[in-house]
Amino acid sequence: MSLSVIVAFFLAAIIIQSYIRSYLRLRHVPGPWFASFSLAFMTWTIISGRMWLIYNDLQKKYGPLVRIGPNDLITDDPAIIKRMSAVRSDYLRSTWYQSRIDPYVTNIISERDTKVHDKRRAQMAAGYAGRETPMVEADIDAQVLSLVKLLKMKYLSDSKTLRPVDFAEKASFLTLDVITKVAYGFPFGFLQSDSDVHQYMAIMEKFWMPGNIANTLPWLNTILAHPLFLKFVAPKVTDKIGMGKVMGIAKEVVAERFGPDAKDRQDMLGAFVRHGLSQRQAESEVMFQLIAGSDTTATAIRATLLYIVTNPLVISKLRQELDAAASEGRISSPISSTEANALLYLQAVLLEGFRIHPPFTGLAMKEVPPGGDTLCGLFIPEGTRVGHNIWMLQRNKIIYGEDVELFRPERWLDVSADKRAEMEQQLDLIFGYGRWGCMGKSVARMELTKSICELVRQFDFQLINPTQPWTVANYSLFVHHDMWMKITERNSG
């Protein structure tokens, strides 16, 4: 027998043994058998652009804990999700988190060291909480009014002229201008120019799929973090477009806060600086705000508006409430957060919008601690990655009722106070939980509230193609296009 044959035999034996060991490790957890041997199933799921639907179907078929990879599980059990993310939990962030927006330094989402993460979160908390950022609501108001102005100037249709607008794009323009104003101190001007400034959106959309694959494949992240890759391929502050351009702007804006003539400012970046973030950390965090604070909120605005305008009963009841409040002088334009909180049907609509279409479906996988753990009555060995199925979580019939696929705001009103609290706790999991919870959820909710109120009060919307209201792909974040609508100015009387 030749040496080459012997080597091939041993290599084949090693590979087969590896596959067998992978299979045996979690063989007691149900799931598609081919997912047990390699990460190919998870990778294919991402590439398909249908990951939220595929994982949803698996959860329906196999139950609350499903095997989706050799070392990977997914769950829609809220108790498990809370347990993994609790402040005193022994679970850690898994390798799923190590992909970075800024390839050179970690941020609040990519930092896996719990102590480092908790310290940075504490440094940033005041900026997000609003105590030291009194202008956030006014900044959001200004951009909502900019969106209204743009629609009135360029996209109003009438009986003679159709001026179709891709609302998916305009929603992104709004949220990008909001977050750049909040994080950088000035809006980049997406709404003012009615264009994709710095080609940011087009370039970042190409990043979502490979970035999500990198979260799934730890070895790929190792390659992406290698100095040679960073030197020749990664974005740089000297780039004229895309993420590199944004990195350059972040570097300039943050440098002003650390220079010899730096002045303290009452905004988020100012709060970060006051509470001890280094210059390089601040650069990374304002870049992350741009990612986390724009696409997810834009998705929430698109989806909520879509469900409102395609449900005559809902839009009629919502307008009755808004018109009555306006006629009695109880709401401003744009509506304030305090005013909005007093409108019960509006709040039910917004909650239902988040529930029916959670804007983020990333697995956010945690790592089972040393010694293993028992989940759903099954022993799970240490080092296993366990992901969240947020989409299925918000279709729990025990929590929300049998009609979970129906957009029905009344479900939040026709219940006891205790049941409403239970539902809100379940819904809040779309923003994470415990030490890993989203710090920007109050800003996102404020944007959704103000934009939906102003749009519904001022305009009538008609889908140009109701059989296909948008094109959609999902890579943890949703990518929407072609949400073509006819918009006319509303005469409320």
Q: Can you give the pLDDT at residue 459?
A: 98
Q: Tell me which long-range contacts 131-134 makes (C-beta under 8 A, separation of at least 24).
A: 132/266, 132/270, 132/271, 132/274, 133/182, 133/266, 133/267, 133/268, 133/270, 133/271, 134/266
Residue 395 — very low, low, confident or very high, per pLDDT cuts 50/70/90?
Answer: very high
Q: Can you give the pLDDT at residue 10?
A: 44
Q: Are 391 and 52 in contact (CB under 8 A)?
A: yes
Peptide bond preceding 218 in cis form (omega within 30 of 0): no
CB atoms within 10 A of CB 403: 10
What φ, ψ does residue 196 adopt, rounded to 5°? -80, 90
Q: Which residues contact 250 (CB under 8 A, 6 or more apart)?
A: 184, 283, 286, 287
Out of 101-110, 135-144, 205-214, give the one with best mean pLDDT.
135-144
Q: How far is Cα 341 from Cα 327, in angstroms, rounded to an integer?
A: 17
376 annotated among ligand-binding-site residues = no
Q: Are 341 and 347 in contact (CB under 8 A)?
A: yes
Range from 97-106, 137-146, 371-380 carrying the lowest mean pLDDT: 97-106
Q: How far is Cα 459 from Cα 478, in angstroms, rounded to an integer?
A: 25
What φ, ψ does residue 34 adopt, rounded to 5°? -70, -15
Q: Can you give the pLDDT at residue 2?
A: 65
What φ, ψ does residue 373 adopt, rounded to 5°? -155, 165
Give per-residue pLDDT as tens, 31-49.
999 899 889 999 999 999 9
Residue 7 — very low, low, confident or very high, per pLDDT cuts 50/70/90?
Answer: very low
Does the pLDDT at position 315 exceed 60? yes
Q: How large is the average pLDDT for residues 108-122?
A: 92
Residue 232 — very low, low, confident or very high, per pLDDT cuts 50/70/90?
Answer: confident
CB atoms within 10 A of CB 232: 7
Domain locations in the chain as residue ranges:
114-364+386-489
Q: How far is Cα 277 from Cα 283, in angstroms, rounded to an integer?
A: 10
Q: How large is the average pLDDT for residues 440-465?
A: 96
Q: How large is the average pLDDT for residues 478-486?
A: 97
**Average pLDDT score over the chain:** 91
Q: Can you give the pLDDT at residue 246?
A: 87
What φ, ψ does residue 374 adopt, rounded to 5°? -110, 120
Interaxial angle between packed helices 312-327 and 344-356, expressed in degrees from 0 to 180 and rounded to the nearest 10: 140
Q: How far is Cα 290 from Cα 26, in angstroms, rounded to an integer?
A: 38
Does the pLDDT at position 302 exceed 90? yes
CA distances from 276 to 127, 247, 331 (A): 12, 21, 39
Strands (E), 77-161: 92-93
Q: Can you give the pLDDT at residue 16?
A: 47
Does the pLDDT at position 492 exceed 70? no
Range from 90-104, 218-232, 370-384 carrying the lowest mean pLDDT: 218-232
Q: Is 489 helix (H, G, I), strand (E, B) or coil?
A: strand
* Topology annotation, domain 114-364+386-489: Cytochrome p450 (1.10.630)
Q: Can you give the pLDDT at residue 15?
A: 45
β pairing state of 477-481 and 471-475: antiparallel
Does the pLDDT at position 153 exceed 50? yes
What order of strands is seen across the sheet that includes strand 484-489? 165-166, 484-489, 459-463
Q: How large is the average pLDDT for residues 98-126?
A: 87
Instruction: Work out the percent of the chain whose per-residue pLDDT is above 70.
Output: 95
| Three-class secondary structure assignment of 222-254 | HHHCCHHHHHHCCCCCCCCCHHHHHHHHHHHHH
| Sign of the dihedral through C-alpha 306, 308, 310, 315 | negative
Q: How far is Cα 87 from Cα 134, in angstroms, rounded to an integer?
A: 28
Residue 14 — very low, low, confident or very high, per pLDDT cuts 50/70/90?
Answer: very low
The tokens for 272 are 């970060």
- Comparing CA positions, the residue from 407, 458, 172 lying closest to residue 302 is 172
Of residues 183 and 10, which shows the higher confidence score? 183
Instruction: For residue 360, give the DSSP letter.
Output: B
Q: How far is Cα 288 from Cα 211, in angstroms, rounded to an integer?
A: 14
Give per-residue pLDDT as tens, 354-385.
999 999 999 999 999 999 999 999 999 999 99
Q: Can you give the pLDDT at residue 400?
A: 97
Q: How large is the average pLDDT for residues 10-16?
A: 46
Does the pLDDT at position 102 exceed 70? yes
Does the pLDDT at position 228 exceed 80? no
β pairing state of 373-375 and 72-75: unpaired
CA angle 143, 146, 149 (to 5 degrees): 160
Q: Is 178 helix (H, G, I), strand (E, B) or coil?
A: helix
Q: How large is the average pLDDT for residues 224-228?
A: 76
Residue 450 — very low, low, confident or very high, per pLDDT cuts 50/70/90?
Answer: very high
Residue 17 — very low, low, confident or very high, per pLDDT cuts 50/70/90?
Answer: very low
Q: Can you give the pLDDT at residue 106?
A: 87
Does the pLDDT at position 124 exceed 70? yes
Q: Buried b / exposed e across 333-369, counting CB within 10 Å, b at 16+?
A: ebbbeebbeebebbbbbbbbbbbbbbbbbbbbbbbbe
Q: Can you give the pLDDT at residue 311?
A: 97
Q: Is 485 helix (H, G, I), strand (E, B) or coil?
A: strand
Residue 4 — very low, low, confident or very high, per pLDDT cuts 50/70/90?
Answer: low
- Comparing CA positions, the residue from 164, 173, 180, 168 lying closest to residue 194 is 173
The residue type found at 129 is: A
Residue 21 — very low, low, confident or very high, per pLDDT cuts 50/70/90?
Answer: low
Of residues 379 and 268, which shows the higher confidence score? 379
Q: Can you give the pLDDT at residue 301?
A: 98
